[in-house]
Structure 1
Amino acid sequence: MSDSSREFHKPVRRPAELFDRLFSAEDPAEVSRVAHSTAQALLSRVRADPSVDVVERLVAFTDDHGIDDIAELWSRSPARSLPGALWRLYLLQLMIHDDAATAALLYERGRVEMATVDAVVAGAPAPAGPEELVQLIDTILRGLFEGDFAVALDRAAAFCRVQAAGSTHLADDYENTESERASALTTRALRLATYAEDLAASAALWRRDALT
């Protein structure tokens, strides 16, 4: 083999540091460290100087870039942690933006059925259509970056409770005629109820300066 051939076939070696970094990405400790450090850095930087352009880019992030980058960073974080709370808010936003009509249907049904102040806390008009719900979730997300963080989480929790109630009642309506749809709505209600508990708990932790 000629010298030029040997040069061409020479294996490409990555520096040891890069090799370690590539393979450590799946290490649970590293995943947790990256999730918490990025969430804290993002929130601290934006809240210290909440310029309109930066906040609006963050609110529009999933519309412009999708959810994959955020999921990779934060989706495996504990629910009652800073990255876990941010992940749930972005996921709620995506759910509403993706199907605002269904979100409005569930929200309005829940608002009518519930005898609580949750709809008032969430802050949507009554009745709330698809456009109003899109505006609501964007406003709540915006509040994480430039308002009272705990209040934003409480509003999101209240929103989830209203949606969960709507999903539950609608599931009851379909139970005898469309069992699969009823099952899907019940699953959604349970997920939203869990989100509500986690977001409310995260708000309480934030107020104690213990949400990390």
Structure 2
Amino acid sequence: MCAAMASDFHRPTRFPPGMFEGYLGAEDPASLSRIAHDSAAAILSRVRADPDPAVVARLITYTDEHGIDAIAELWSQASAKSLPGALWRVYLLRTLIRQDPVGISLAFQRGTEVSHTIDQVVAGAPIPAGPAEVQELADRILHGLFAGDFAVALERAAAFARVVAAGFTSLADDADASDAVNPDRPRELTQRALRLTQLADEFASCARLWRRDSLD
């Protein structure tokens, strides 16, 4: 790991309500930090040149030990269509899955039932996929960034996000807005679906740029 990533170790932190949406909804800065690009390129090139399984495993689980905020400081403000932006968003997706594996697996399962695309095949998750399976899929996608076809890994992330978004949309349709227990539930589910759709579009764009050798 680069010195900047390892300088301040943090315990894993959970997202307070709205943080996931806040990260994805924030506008990218007009001027990108050179540190973000240099660190992302250095880490990726070093690991892909010599994909030691132990090093790749540590990168995949880095946020489990140090928290998502440890890389947010470096990469969260990078453009969505950049190397650090792509890496950040995959880590963000993995964190979202690990913090709510039951909810995400439920949405993924519903998405496979209502979505008439090949996205569930591209994502590579088993059907049915429970909490353990979606967490394993997130790890495999991140592994693919460091030790596989980078574009394919991003396309799998995009496909997974689209299926889950379809699931959340369907669950929102089922929710009763007049439910006295949680009347905001349909809006919350719809918001999650919109953010995941945005995330999927960003992954797909990054995959295309990578194939053209234009993702930096």
Give the shorter-chain TM-score range: 0.7 to 0.9
- Displacement of 1:177 in angstroms is 3.6
Which residue pairs with 1:17 in the alignment?
none
Question: Does residue 74 of structure 2 align to residue 65 of structure 1?
Answer: no
- In terms of fraction of residues, the more helix-rich structure is 1
- Aligned pairs for 1:128-147 (under 5 A) are 128-147=129-148
Q: Deviations over 1:74-110 (max 9, x none)?
A: 0001111100110100000001111100110010000
C-alpha distance in 1 between matches for 2:30 and 2:160? 32
Q: Deviations over 1:1-32 (max 9, x none)?
A: xxxxxxxxxxxxxxxxxxxxxxxxxx975x61
**Aligned-pair RMSD on alpha carbons?**
1.3
C-alpha distance in 1 between matches for 2:46 and 2:134? 28
CA contact (8 A) 2:177 2:185 kept: no
- Displacement of 1:64 in angstroms is 1.1
Write the letter of the residue equivalent to 1:173.
D
Write the letter of the residue equivalent to 1:194.
Q
Q: Deviations over 1:21-79 (max 9, x none)?
A: xxxxxx975x6101101000010000000000000000101111111111000000111
Residues matched between the structures, number: 185
Question: Does residue 198 of structure 2 align to residue 197 of structure 1?
Answer: no
Which residue pairs with 1:19 in the alignment?
none
- Displacement of 1:182 in angstroms is 0.8
Write the letter of the residue equivalent to 2:81.
R
Question: Does residue 56 of structure 2 align to residue 55 of structure 1?
Answer: yes
Alignment match of 1:183 (pick from 179, 184, 187)? 187
Secondary structure, in 3 states, of the residue corresponding to 1:88? helix
Which residue pairs with 2:77 in the alignment?
76
- Aligned pairs for 1:114-133 (under 5 A) are 114-133=115-134
Secondary structure, in 3 states, of the residue corresponding to 2:210? helix
Which residue pairs with 2:6 in the alignment?
none
- Displacement of 1:140 in angstroms is 0.4
Write the letter of the residue equivalent to 2:38.
S
CA contact (8 A) 2:63 2:70 kept: no
C-alpha distance in 1 between matches for 2:58 and 2:30? 30
CA contact (8 A) 2:177 2:184 kept: no
Report the TM-score when normalising by structure 2. 0.83
Secondary structure, in 3 states, of the residue corresponding to 1:115? coil
- Aligned pairs for 1:1-212 (under 5 A) are 29=31, 32-178=33-179, 179-212=183-216
C-alpha distance in 2 between matches for 1:99 and 1:123? 19
C-alpha distance in 2 between matches for 1:112 and 1:80? 31
Moved over 3 A (4+): 175-179
C-alpha distance in 2 between matches for 1:146 and 1:188? 30
Write the letter of the residue equivalent to 1:33.
R
C-alpha distance in 2 between matches for 1:209 and 1:175? 47
- Displacement of 1:175 in angstroms is 4.1
